[in-house]
Amino acid sequence: MSEVPMNEVPMSGGQMNRLPRARALLIATALLTPLTLAGSATGAPERPAAAAVAATGAVRANTLAGAQTGAQSCDPTKSLPPSSSDNGPAVSAIKKRGVLIAGVDQNNYHWGFRDPSTGQVEGFDIDIVRAIAQAILGDPNKVEFKMVPTADRIEAIKSGEVDLIARTMTITCDRLNDVAFSTVYFQAGQQVVVPKAAKAKSVDDALKGKTVCVSSSSTAQEQLGQNPRGTAAIKVVGNDLDCLVLMQLGQVDVTLTDNAIAVGQAAQDPTVQVIGPSITNEPYGVAMAKNAPDLVARVNQVLADYRQNGGWQASYDKWLANYLGPSGGPPPANYLP
């Protein structure tokens, strides 16, 4: 396997749908500067909350880690009970700093992408980050967004570069060894993106004998490592949008990714299609440091309110309903005892 460095490119879905294929490819390979957008913060922010409380949160971190991963039968969907307290060390550090530092994507249409007409980062994940900022800081714009590649999500948390990651990140037992997660805020599953001309009828049909593209350190890469499903070769790249570009260039045959991401690729390029059904279960959560249980509990309260006050449904209807169809509502929260 080899990693292919690609330029990361966001694009407004409405504009991409109207572009001829050649022009879409040209835009998809354009160079963008790294994303660092602050809301109403001024000056360089202090280090993220996770790093600020590293010393004081060790005991509580061990408790959280044991609760989420200690059992032989891990249930990755369980998280800490919600709390509205802002007095814990991690939340207090964010309030003192005056800005939430969030790791996000800028290339994932519907979820985290930069609108080229406004320069603003938008999407379903971005709405969740803004809801967290509103709850903790009283302003949804008090956010510094940092673009974090798929393979760097866990390290960005562990190093204290960001307070949290909201980036279509699947909660897994392996990942719980390194970071903590909120309750599940979206349920996805892996499907394939293929050119319509390929005429594949199923996931296995699309993968057999083909060169398959996956993101580095993704659950799709893990899935094919466990079961190659007859693939001829696997190309590992930095981000999912890179796979779409490689398919347009004819360098790979198919992309394996979460269906929630796949529909965004199909919206950007009408010559490709998504084929299922899903072959995995991909529960998305907000990732945070294991030594910041107060932040985990606070985010879980935000998500509980977000489910109940219509925020989740409004965001789904805005970003996802046209591509994924009507929702059955947000996934229910599952808390640790």
For 26-53, how does the pLDDT look when each residue is reduced to its tens digit (9 = 90+)? 334 332 334 555 444 434 455 566 555 5
**Do residue 88 and residue 44 come from a single domain?**
yes
24-28, 178-182, 311-315: which range is least confident on average? 24-28
Which of 6, 15, 32 has its CA nearest to residue 270? 15
Is 15 a domain residue? no
Residue 239's pLDDT is 86
**Do residue 201 and residue 311 come from a single domain?**
no
Is 66 a domain residue? yes
Number of H helices, E strands in the chain: 14, 17
Per-residue pLDDT tens for 157-174?
999 999 999 999 999 999
Which pTM does this prediction carry? Answer: 0.81
Per-residue pLDDT tens for 104-161?
999 899 999 999 899 999 999 999 999 999 999 999 999 999 999 999 999 999 999 9
CA 304/CA 335 separation, integer angstroms: 11
**Do residue 286 and residue 174 come from a single domain?**
yes
| Residue at a domain's end among 275, 291, 307 | 275
pLDDT-above-90 percentage for the chain = 73
**Do residue 169 and residue 104 come from a single domain?**
yes
CA 293/CA 83 separation, integer angstroms: 10
Per-residue pLDDT tens for 85-111?
999 999 999 999 999 999 999 989 999
CA 140/CA 200 separation, integer angstroms: 43
**Do residue 216 and residue 108 come from a single domain?**
no
Domain total of the chain:
2
- Scanning the structure block, which residue is given the tokens 């207090």? 92
Is 7 a domain residue? no
Is 1 a domain residue? no
* Residues 105 and 258: beta-carbon distance below 8 Å: no
**Do residue 165 and residue 209 come from a single domain?**
no
Residue 46's pLDDT is 58
| Strand 100-104 versus strand 143-147 pairing type | parallel
CA 282/CA 295 separation, integer angstroms: 23
**Do residue 205 and residue 144 come from a single domain?**
no
**Do residue 74 and residue 164 come from a single domain?**
yes
Structural domain containing residue 261:
190-275
Which of 130, 116, 111, 135 has its CA nearest to residue 14? 116
**Do residue 120 and residue 216 come from a single domain?**
no
Is 65 a domain residue? yes
| Residue at a domain's end among 254, 275, 296 | 275
- Scanning the structure block, which residue is given the tokens 């939430």? 100
Write the CATH number for 69: 3.40.190.10
Is 10 a domain residue? no
**Do residue 154 and residue 208 come from a single domain?**
no
Per-residue pLDDT tens for 236-273?
998 888 999 999 999 999 999 999 999 989 988 999 99
Residue 30's pLDDT is 33
Is 334 a domain residue? no
> Which run of H or E residues covers position 331?
none
Is 164 a domain residue? yes
**Do residue 212 and residue 77 come from a single domain?**
no
**Do residue 51 and residue 102 come from a single domain?**
yes
